[in-house]
Amino acid sequence: METQRRPGGRSARVRAAVRQATLVEVTQRGYQGLTVENVAKRSGVHKTSIYRRWGGPEGLVADALELAATEPIPIPDTGTLAGDLRALTEAVRAGFASPQGGAIGSAFILAGMQNPAAAAAMQNFTAARRKQSVIVVDRAVERGELPATVDGDELIRFALAPIYYRIFVTHEPLTPDDATKAADAALAAARAGVL
Amino acid sequence: METQRRPGGRSARVRAAVRQATLVEVTQRGYQGLTVENVAKRSGVHKTSIYRRWGGPEGLVADALELAATEPIPIPDTGTLAGDLRALTEAVRAGFASPQGGAIGSAFILAGMQNPAAAAAMQNFTAARRKQSVIVVDRAVERGELPATVDGDELIRFALAPIYYRIFVTHEPLTPDDATKAADAALAAARAGVL
């Protein structure tokens, strides 16, 4: 008997429940505290089903990331690329500044650093998020703000990097001004033809 | 850590031995596998002395970072800021690409994300490293390559951020070209007056 995975069907509901439970567990206990047992309790899905389908904590995190990658994020449309990039970096800053966003971001990064499956999921997840965001660069090219030779993916990557660097590497304070500066610096590099 | 620290004295030798053992342990077992027991065995310093002076694994990592912060790093002097920044980012890329450098960097970042003392130590360590590197910006200002209003600390920070982002967050490949681009992008942003 083969499992049916109709969107919205039982399989999808089970997956959503397990993924939601994974996110809550990771937020409350961190990646190190994530266990199949607790995800089973919280989701109401049987432990053995979780082991069979997800393998263990690393599979749970990877799947949560895979599903999160498909979720649409709000894309700004301020009329200028500078405005759009600033809105993007500020949204990331504010997201990580919230207790839940900070805990989930931190757990995903920790998982990626400690487990190859989670690392691959992080690579896909961040690429998918950039792919959604790159529309602000495409629009700017259409408006004639930047030449079509610009690497939009790289521009978004460079706008975000200083945010992650401060929060997760150097543990320095991160203000809205820092988010603005990260956006402006990436844009200046793109305008100079570096990106 | 209320112990007296005479440079070159017994206390300094003990500290150096424990710090060296910490680095080796962290390289071989990662931050999660770092124990006072193993550091004691490897350093030849008694377990109870380590507990008394360093408290535990987080104190060991914080102290290793504190001592590492004072170590001089090679500072390039190529004659241009572009050349110096490229040499700096390439040195960081190559450092993390080596098995030992990658393991230590990863362990320090993991420790910083999981322990407040290690986070504070990471902030100090990265600031101290930037402070050593910022001389390349000072020289460029003296040569008239950039106005004195440039924020050298921020310029170095922005040159390094994309390197860490790729290695530890997105888990994307990192080539020497990527290191060059990170240096060039930060310099372009500084020239545009953003940094």
Output the pLDDT for position A52.
95
pLDDT at B151 over 60: yes
pLDDT at B117 over 50: yes
Comparing CA positions, the residue from B83, B86, B72, B179 lying closest to residue B132 is: B72
* pLDDT (average), residues B145-171: 97
Whether the domain at A10-69 and the domain at A81-191 fall into the same CATH topology? no
Output the pLDDT for position A86.
98
Query: How far, rounded to the nearest angstrom, does the alpha carbon of residue A93 sit from its chain's CA centroid?
Result: 12
Tell if the CB–CB gap between A188 and B189 is shorter than 8 Å: yes
Q: Give the number of A-B residue pairs with CB atoms closer than 8 Å.
A: 112
User: Of all residues in chain B, what percent carry a pLDDT higher than 90?
Assistant: 75
Chain B residue whose CA is closest to A117: B171
User: Of all residues in chain A, what percent carry a pLDDT higher than 90?
Assistant: 76
Alpha helices in B10-169 (DSSP H): 10-29, 36-43, 47-54, 57-70, 81-97, 99-114, 116-133, 135-142, 152-164
* pLDDT (average), residues A20-48: 92
> What's this model's pTM, rounded to 2 decimal places?
0.91
- Give residue-wise pLDDT tens across range A144-183: 999 999 999 999 999 999 999 999 999 999 999 999 999 9
User: Which residues in B lie closer than 8 A to residue A172 (C-beta atoms)?
Assistant: 123
Write down the CATH number for the domain with range A81-191: 1.10.357.10
Tell if the CB–CB gap between A165 and B157 is shorter than 8 Å: yes
Q: What span, in angstroms and rounded, lies between the C-alpha atoms of A126 and A157?
A: 9
Q: HSE of A134 in the Cβ direction (CA atoms, 13 Å)?
A: 15
Tell if the CB–CB gap between B120 and A184 is shorter than 8 Å: no
Res. B99 pLDDT band, cuts 50 70 90? confident
Tell if the CB–CB gap between B195 and A185 is shorter than 8 Å: yes
Q: Which long-range contacts (CB under 8 A, 24 or more apart) does A72-77 make?
A: A72/A132, A73/A129, A73/A132, A73/A133, A75/A132, A75/A133, A75/A135, A75/A136, A76/A136, A77/A136, A77/A139
Tell if the CB–CB gap between A192 and B191 is shorter than 8 Å: yes
pLDDT at B1 over 50: no
* pLDDT (average), residues B29-38: 90
Tell if the CB–CB gap between A168 and B172 is shorter than 8 Å: no
pLDDT at B52 over 90: yes
User: Which residues in A lie closer than 8 A to residue B182 (C-beta atoms)?
Assistant: 158
The residue among A22 and B6 whose pLDDT is bigger is: A22
A81-85, A177-181, B22-26, range with the lowest pLDDT: B22-26
pLDDT at A93 over 50: yes
Q: What span, in angstroms and rounded, lies between the C-alpha atoms of A100 and A4?
A: 33
Residues 86-125 of A with CB under 8 A from B: 106, 109-110, 112-114, 119-120, 122-123
pLDDT at A14 over 50: yes
Residues A160, A92 contacting (CB under 8 angstroms): yes
User: Which residues in B lie closer than 8 A to residue A112 (C-beta atoms)?
Assistant: 168-169, 171
Q: Which CATH architecture has domain A10-69?
A: Orthogonal Bundle (1.10)
Residues B179, B163 contacting (CB under 8 angstroms): yes
Tell if the CB–CB gap between A126 and B154 is shorter than 8 Å: no
Radius of gyration over alpha carbons of chain A, in Å? 19
Q: What span, in angstroms and rounded, lies between the C-alpha atoms of A130 and A160?
A: 10
Chain B residue whose CA is closest to A126: B170
* pLDDT (average), residues B168-189: 98
Domain ranges of chain B: 10-69, 81-191
* pLDDT (average), residues B95-105: 91
pLDDT at A7 over 70: no
